[in-house]
Every structure is written in structure tokens, then in C-alpha cells.
A and B are shown apart, each in its own frame.
Chain A
Amino acid sequence: MDTLSALLADPSILRIEVSLGPRDLPVRRVFGTRAFVDWLEQRRAGMEKSKLGIDLSITEQIDSLFYRFIVGDVLRNRWDFRCVKIEKYPVWEMKTPDIRIFGWFPEKDCFIAVCGGWADHIKDYDLYRGYRLEIRRLRRTMNLARDLCGRGTTPDDVISH
């Protein structure tokens, strides 16, 4: 797969949207694999609450994070997202208080979410390497051109402000 449009046209990739306010315009894009969207749907259908006891449901946390990303708000490196490991084709982590979402940026301002999980579980069992390998395996399976695997490891490489 050589071009971004071919990647995004793949039926296994879905566009993820959030409700936009009357004066909001989408300036960044989020996509997800079907497995990730199924995982999101399970969180929503189960009306899952925070394990930390904060007053935001899991769906509300994810909605707020992706809303800020999509409308072009500032996302704080380390607080809202981070590069999991400095490597040639890095995997990125998007963060809410309860949830971690792993994926990559095939181009600036375009995030493809692949896996999601509870932050405490991921930290307790140190699952970062497993998620990284899962995403690398997926990109290999999709036979992606190297340009679509995202090279940058700094916030400015993947998000414009």
C-alpha cells in the first residue's frame, strides 16, 4: 500500500468522528481499525465509569481527547500524548486519565488508533512493548509503504499547532 488515500480506503480502517460545536471545524483526522472501534463501542455500550473515581465516563474522556485533537486544540506532550519509544517508525500513545490508546501517525495531524486499554492495567503489566509490536505487525500485514509508517518522534513531527 503506497499512498495515504489507499490506506484510508481500506475497509478495515474507519474514520472516527466526534460531535462538533456550531463554530468548530475539523482540522485533524482520527481513524481506527475495526477492532479498535469495536473496543470503543463496548466502552460506550457498557456506559463504563472511571476506575479512578473521577466524574467523567470512559466515553466522555475519549470524546474530549479526540474532540481537542480534531478541532486543532493544543495537546500537551506527555500529558495528552507521547511517543512510546524513540525508534524509526514510532508508535504513539494518546492519553486520558483512565485510558491509553495506541496507534501511529501516517502523516502529520492524522492518527490511526489500533489498540486501547485501561491505563492501570497497561502500567501494572507493562504492556507497552506488546502494543508496539502489535502495531508493527499490523503495518507489516498491511504491507504499508515506509512513508506511511510515520517517521518523526517529536510532537512537532506529528501535530501542527
Chain B
Amino acid sequence: MTSYLIDPGARGVAVGRFLDRVRRELLDAFLAEQRVSGVTIEDLASRLSKSRSEINGYLAGTRPLCLRSIADLAWALNRSVSLDIGAEPVFEGQNSYDMGTSVHYHGSYAFGASSALTTTAPPPPVIHVAGASVRSESVGA
């Protein structure tokens, strides 16, 4: 079967998925808090003195997220943010984007490509928006 690989490049994969993951962490934190305490987008807007559409834009990814916005939203959700930029361990036989040991078609059609054959870029840094209980434990320690 003919296949097409969406390939924004190693940098695009790492950066794009990281930014997407940050937005998703915020959205997940909001939805979890909504289930627990019933918080709404209006509540967040009120706490941060911003408009509803601005808060909705951050959660939907339609507004640029700066570090301050992330910290603001985490605060409004009564959560803390942790950032981990770790070295990625390399295992023997692992695909490597830079070494070209995996199959990349750069947007062209390829025949017979296995879905397991692609990649390689290391996962991006991770941001977690932790719950309030975690924050209070670490403060207590």
C-alpha cells in the first residue's frame, strides 16, 4: 500500500509536539479541575482579569502561550508547574533521526513502508501541571 509520511523535520517534530503537549497539559488540568470543583472558563477569566475568549484561546491552542500565561493558568487552577529538560538515553539499535537510520520520505509517497519503521526524534521536554496536593507536599518537605 502507498503511504505518506507527515514530516516537519526533526526540529519540527520535537518542538511541535512539545508545544502541543504543553497546551494539552493545561487543558487536561482544566478538565480535571472542572470535574472535581466545577470550575469554569468564566471563573478562570475572572481570577486572571482576562476575557473568556482569551482563556478559551489558551486552552484551545488558538492563542500564543507564553511562560507567564502558563504560570497564570496553573495558578488560577491552583496547580504548580514543573519543567524537566532531561537527557534522552540512547539504546542500542534505536532509530536515529540525525543518523538517518530510519525511513523518512519527506512528504513524498513511498511504497510498502511499514508503520513501525519511522522515527526517531527524541521526545520533547515535558511540562507537568501538577495538582495542588503535590505542591503542598513539596512545600511541607
Residues of A within 8 A of B (CB): 8-9, 11, 14-22, 24-26, 29, 32, 37, 40-41, 44-45, 52-57, 59-68, 74, 76, 79, 96-97
The 15 listed contacts between A and B (C-beta, < 8 Å) are: A17-B113, A17-B115, A19-B119, A20-B118, A22-B94, A25-B116, A26-B116, A40-B4, A54-B62, A60-B16, A60-B17, A61-B20, A64-B19, A67-B17, A68-B20
Bound complex: CA of A69 vs CA of B35, how far in Å? 24
Bound complex: CA of A20 vs CA of B13, how far in Å? 10
Contact check: which of B2, B4, B109, B119 meets A20 at CB < 8 Å?
B119
In the complex, the 10 A-B pairs of residues with the closest C-beta atoms, listed nearest first: A60-B16, A64-B20, A19-B119, A15-B3, A97-B61, A59-B8, A97-B62, A26-B115, A17-B5, A37-B4
Interface centre among A19, A32, A55, A60 (most CB of B within 10 A): A19
Q: A17–B6 contact, CB under 8 A? A: yes
Question: How many residue pairs between the two chains, A and B, have CB atoms under 8 Å in the bound complex?
Answer: 130
Q: B123–A9 contact, CB under 8 A? A: no
Return chain A residues, CB-CB under 8 Å to B7.
19, 44, 59, 63
